[in-house]
Amino acid sequence: HRHLLGIEQLSQSDITTLLDLADTYAERNRQPNKHSDALRGLTQINMFFENSTRTQASFEIAGKRLGADVMNMAMQASSIKKGETLIDTAMTLNAMHPDLLVVRHPQSGAVDLLAQKVNCAVLNAGDGRHEHPTQALLDALTIRRAKGRLHRLSIAICGDIAHSRVARSNILLLGKMENRIRLVGPPTLMPSQIDQFGVEVFDDMKKGLEGVDVVMMLRLQKERMDGGFIPSEREYYHRYGLDAEKLAHASPDAIVMHPGPMNRGVEIDGTLADDINRSVIQDQVEMGVAVRMAAMDLLARNHVAAQPSVA
């Protein structure tokens, strides 16, 4: 692959190859010397048109650990503010010969469009409600390490599915790896074309969590609700917030996940989120660096191989 735009384009074997490499980086990241030369001499530019803590920090750390020259574009201070378009901005940066562009954008499809215009490898760091492929890959690695496998698991994805690129990428990835997926949440927060996903749908948390191996919570994404469905947080927590009582319906060794940023007391009980016997939320963050190292390493190998040789 030239780019990493979504899970949609990846095969089961692409996913396994990437997770296997990420596993080796996860081990290396726990050693005192975390550095390698995999991206030495390459230039990575991070362009985040939407807020981020985890994704931006981990892509920057990942690039630096692999020896890339990493530049973070401060989009708030860029000429986007003077009316320059996304494509003109990308073409301007493209003319500086970057090797890797990491892009987050509020509009679905914006990153795919940009990838068609530039010469370098593009990694989607989240586009609108479309895809967040590295999030699904880091979730998959976290599940595989906690459960010892990534197939034939029963996985509940809970909450605001309709507005979630994380849910969409996870449904695609976990489906490709042959897991049973349940979507749990209010009908108003379910995507309209739910049938195409091959999942079971529940609007009752206790029924939806019955016997599952993995409980994946999502944030209420008010920034994408267009003034539509905004539930009272208290009522939402009562019905759909994960606490010990609702979790008791899942398998006794079920793990609890949340991509972050989380709203304690809205979609998840704070004590449960911090319970290291059940919650793998910090592992997800740790695996984020490893997965992004693996993704950039693999793309850079293809990218360098595709360059014309200098006579």
Binding site for L-aspartate: what residues are annotated?
A: 82, 165, 219
- Rg (Cα) of the chain, in Å, rounded? 19
Residues between 29 and 58 that touch ligand CP (CB under 6 A):
52-55
Which residue lies nearest ligand CP, judged by its C-beta?
A: 55
Q: Which of 3, 43, 65, 104 is catalytic?
A: 104
Amino acid at 20: D
How many residues contact ligand CP, by CB under 6 A? 9
Tokens at residue 66, please? 């692999």
Q: Which of 132, 182, 249, 303 is catalytic?
A: 132
Task: Closer to ligand CP by CB, 19 or 217: give it.
Answer: 217
Task: Closer to ligand CP by CB, 135 or 179: give it.
Answer: 135
CA distances from 276 to 141, 146, 155, 285 (A): 17, 12, 19, 14
Binding mask 130-169 for ligand CP (x = CB under 6 A): -----x----------------------------------
Q: Which residue has the tokens 């049938």?
A: 195
CB of 57 to ligand CP, least distance (A): 8
List, in sequence order, every residue forming a beta bridge with 217; answer none if it has no partner.
Answer: 158
| 163 is known as an active-site residue | no
Q: Order of strands across the sheet with 100-105? A: 69-73, 43-48, 100-105, 121-127
Tokens at residue 10, please? 């990846």
Tokens at residue 219, please? 């944030």
| 55 is known as an active-site residue | yes
Q: Is 124 in the site for ligand CP (CB under 6 A)?
A: no
Residues between 237 and 296 that touch ligand CP (CB under 6 A):
259-261
Among 201, 200, 219, 204, residue whose Cα is nearest residue 281: 219
| 147 is known as an active-site residue | no
Q: How far is residue 53's CA from residue 31's CA, in Å, rounded to a whole number?
A: 24
The DSSP 8-state label assigned to residue 34 in this structure reads: -
| 176 is known as an active-site residue | no
Task: Closer to ligand CP by CB, 145 or 180: give it.
Answer: 145
| 54 is known as an active-site residue | yes
Residues forming the active site: 54-55, 82, 104, 132
Q: Which residues bind ligand CP (CB under 6 A)?
A: 52-55, 126, 135, 259-261
